[in-house]
């Protein structure tokens, strides 16, 4: 069984006050883009994982691996002991703010559901996914969707066209938990009350009509200031993208990947080339969205 799963960028990430369970209530507008990991599941006695491809040396293959945890959670849900050898072909940056780990968990759920002949409906997989991580349910469905709660309660959004993006990959990752903690620290320092997150209506309209210019000027990420504080070298990368005509430039999720919205596919290719040629990014990848979530191929 081979499942292909996309990366995501958050076109709006509004972070509410810190909750008692250590999470934050969000308005999180997810958008799946055409950078993919593949998860292959083969019959086996026990559950194991192997990671190949880019950055594979940065992914743990022990019990903390999210794909192993996903397969175990699925077997537990089915009430039986199952085995699977999982092989992940990685293309999504590790700890990059693009939901790479969540993608692998979603891929493992879909692949093992098929391998083990469980036939569980997507609703069951979504529930298991939400327990594994806030972004895992979105990786299952893909497309464009608004996430509330921790980000795991989703409603899908129809979009009026394809958007073209460039992603500037950074050296080394950022821990999501530490970026949220830095966000809390910055907020505590100002003493201001944190407002309840609200969906941006202009952003919704831009997505619905497929208006890249309007989408570009409405991109927002409440974690950006925290990510820039932890990785100040990202600020000139964002500036360079804007100077090369990006319609919008933001840190992707908790970073450190930077996302640039381009006018069209040609502009995305040119922008990616300019970012690497000028040294503003060591690697820049063009992609488009929305694309579908975890799918058997
Ligand atoms: O859900 P997930 O395990 O991906 O979250 C990783 C960390 O990110 C959490 O432990 C928490 O510190 C932070 N987080 C948060 N609020 C959210 C989602 C994640 O504070 N809505």
**Per-residue pLDDT tens digits for 121-176:** 999 999 999 999 999 999 999 999 999 999 999 999 999 999 999 999 998 899 99
Closest CA to 200 of 174, 224, 218, 176: 218
Residue-range domain boundaries for the chain: 2-157, 163-289
Which residue has its alpha carbon closest to ligand 1 atom 13?
177
CB 294 within 8 A of CB 113: no
Mean of all residue pLDDT scores within the chain: 97
Average of pLDDT values for 5-26?
97
Closest CA to 86 of 45, 42, 132, 37: 42
Confirm whether residue 97 is marked as ligand binding.
yes
**Per-residue pLDDT tens digits for 226-242:** 999 999 999 999 999 99
**DSSP secondary structure letters along 20-44:** TTS-EEEEEEEEEEEEEEEEEEEE-
Would you state the pLDDT for residue 42? 98
Q: Is 176 in the pocket of ligand 1 (CB under 6 A)?
A: yes
Share of the chain above pLDDT 90, in %: 96
Q: For the domain bounded by 163-289, which CATH number is listed?
A: 3.30.70.890
Tell me, which fold does domain 2-157 have in CATH?
Ribosomal Protein S5; domain 2 (3.30.230)
Would you state the pLDDT for residue 209? 98
Would you state the pLDDT for residue 55? 83
Is 2-157's fold the same as 163-289's? no
C-alpha–C-alpha distance, residues 155 and 163, integer Å: 20
Q: Is 139 in the pocket of ligand 1 (CB under 6 A)?
A: no
Confirm whether residue 108 is marked as ligand binding.
no
Length of the chain: 297
129 CA → ligand 1 middle, Å: 14
Which of the listed residues 18, 23, 135, 184 should we mutate to test ligand 1's pocket, taking the one with most ligand atoms within 8 A of CB?
Answer: 23
- Going from the C-alpha of 188 to that of each of 42, 111, 128, 150, the distances in angstroms are 49, 43, 34, 20
Q: Which atom of ligand 1 is nearest to the CA of 133?
A: 1
Confirm whether residue 96 is marked as ligand binding.
yes
Dihedral (C-alpha) 102, 108, 109, 111: value to the nearest 10 degrees? 140
**pLDDT confidence tier of residue 54, bands split at 50, 70 and 90:** confident
Residues noted as catalytic:
8, 135
Average of pLDDT values for 15-21?
96
274 CA → ligand 1 middle, Å: 34
CB 140 within 8 A of CB 125: yes
Instruction: Give the CB-side neighbour count of residue 216, counting CA atoms within 13 A.
Output: 19
pTM of the predicted protein model: 0.97
Cis geometry, peptide bond prior to residue 163 (ω within 30 degrees of 0): no
């Amino acid at each position: 069984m081979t499942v292909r799963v996309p990366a995501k960028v958050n076109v709006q990430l509004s972070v509410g006050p810190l909750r008692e369970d250590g999470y934050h209530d969000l308005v999180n507008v997810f958008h799946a883009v055409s950078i993919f990991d593949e998860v292959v599941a083969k019959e086996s006695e026990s559950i194991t994982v192997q990671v190949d491809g880019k950055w594979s040396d940065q992914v743990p293959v022990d019990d903390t691996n999210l794909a192993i945890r996903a397969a175990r959670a699925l077997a537990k849900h089915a009430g039986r002991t199952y085995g699977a050898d999982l092989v992940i072909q990685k293309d999504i940056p590790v700890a990059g703010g693009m939901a790479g780990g969540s993608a692998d968990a979603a891929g493992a759920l879909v692949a093992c559901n098929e391998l083990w002949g469980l036939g569980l409906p997507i609703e069951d997989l979504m529930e298991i996914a939400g327990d594994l991580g806030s972004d895992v349910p979105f990786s299952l469905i893909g497309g464009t969707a608004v996430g509330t709660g921790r980000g795991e309660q989703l409603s899908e959004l129809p979009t009026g066209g394809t958007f073209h993006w460039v992603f500037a990959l950074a050296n080394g990752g950022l821990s999501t938990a530490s970026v949220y903690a830095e966000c809390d620290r910055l907020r505590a320092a100002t003493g201001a009350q944190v407002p309840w997150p609200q969906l941006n209506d202009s952003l919704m309209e831009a997505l619905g009509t497929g208006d890249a210019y309007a989408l570009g000027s409405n991109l927002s990420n409440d974690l950006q200031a925290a990510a820039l504080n932890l990785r100040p070298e990202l600020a000139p990368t964002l500036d360079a993208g804007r100077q090369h005509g990006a319609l919008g430039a933001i840190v992707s999720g908790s970073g450190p990947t930077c996302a640039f919205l381009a006018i069209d596919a040609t502009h995305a290719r040119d922008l990616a080339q300019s970012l690497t040629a000028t040294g503003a990014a060591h690697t820049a990848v063009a992609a488009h969205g929305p694309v579908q979530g975890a799918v058997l191929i």
